[in-house]
Amino acid sequence: MTQASDRGLPGTRPEGVTDEREAAAQVREMFGRIAPRYDLLNHLLSLDVDKMWRRRVAKRFSVILRDPQARVLDLCCGTGDLAFAFRKQAPRGAQITGSDFVPQMLVRARAKAAASGATVDFVEADALALPFDDASFDLVSCAFGFRNLANYERGLREIHRVLKPGGSIAILEFAEPPGKIFGALYRFYFRDVLPRLGGWISGNTSAYSYLPRSVSKFPSPELLQQEFQRAGFFGVQFQRWTGGIVTVHTGRK
């Protein structure tokens, strides 16, 4: 797992890449390629548990979501599932926005919104340079996207900037489960089974071997908690869900 430096945590680097811009370009290209099968694989490889995780995040922030004035941003929204989970909890006036830097993901998100009648704005944007004013949102979330950012410190500072004072951050990410037996079983599935299945169904083996690699390099929950505090958040906490397969990090501006 990554160690903290005095200058904060660098972000993800695909195999053999050192440059930040090149890392972001490769991540963007990879998600563009897997976008057509993204939903199918997500639900299949997680046996649909991913839907429960997103619902659980939405439930946790129901107080914010129930406010008709609420403004909520779901970063790295992919095909929009967390934004749709928020929409279900929120009254009409509440404004839900999803943003992602891969147009192919947003095409699918918008098609899903049109098919279901859900009112969510989908905006193409890089999470490291958001096109939103300071202090715009009551809640900023990111599900399984933060790990892919090329600079974690900048990602957190950008979230902090666009949150209103008192606003909340929620980051849902994969983690390595701590339990001995469950951890070993999970690692076998995650490192040996999932990349093969994912590669076979998506036709993109590298994307699904990047997944376990990026999770193993991702900062531990404790380290990420420090990074949240360093970015200026208070009341920072994390909780492990489903035996520690995922961790939800929360805090306030």
Ligand X SMILES: C[S@@+](CC[C@H](N)C(=O)[O-])C[C@H]1O[C@@H](n2cnc3c(N)ncnc32)[C@H](O)[C@@H]1O
Query: DSSP letter string over 149-179?
Result: -S-HHHHHHHHHHHEEEEEEEEEEEE-----
Name which of 27 and 180 has its Cβ closer to ligand X.
27
Shortest Cβ 54–ligand X spacing (Å): 6
74's enclosing H/E stretch is: strand 71-75
Give the binding site for ligand X (CB under 6 A).
Answer: 24, 27, 31, 42, 76-78, 81-82, 100-102, 105, 126-128, 143-145, 148-149
Nearer to ligand X, 14 or 167 (CB): 14
Closest CB to ligand X among residues 61, 101: 101
Q: What's the min distance (Å) between Cβ of 225 and ligand X?
A: 21
Q: Where are the alpha helices (DSSP H) in 117-220?
A: 152-162, 180-188, 194-202, 205-217
The answer to whether 40 and 201 are in contact (CB under 8 A) is yes
To the nearest whole angstrom, how small is the minimum distance from the Cβ of residue 127 to ligand X? 4
Nearer to ligand X, 126 or 153 (CB): 126
Q: For ligand X, which residue has the nearest CB?
A: 78
Closest to ligand X by CB, 29 vs 222, is 29
Q: How far is CA 174 from the centre of its chain?
A: 9
CA 101 to chain centre: 13
Question: What is the H or E stretch that residue 247 is in?
Answer: strand 246-252
CB of 246 to ligand X, least distance (A): 11
- Which CA distances in Å does 223 have to 67, 78, 148, 218, 219? 33, 26, 17, 10, 6
Q: How far is the CB of 82 from ligand X (least distance, A)?
A: 5
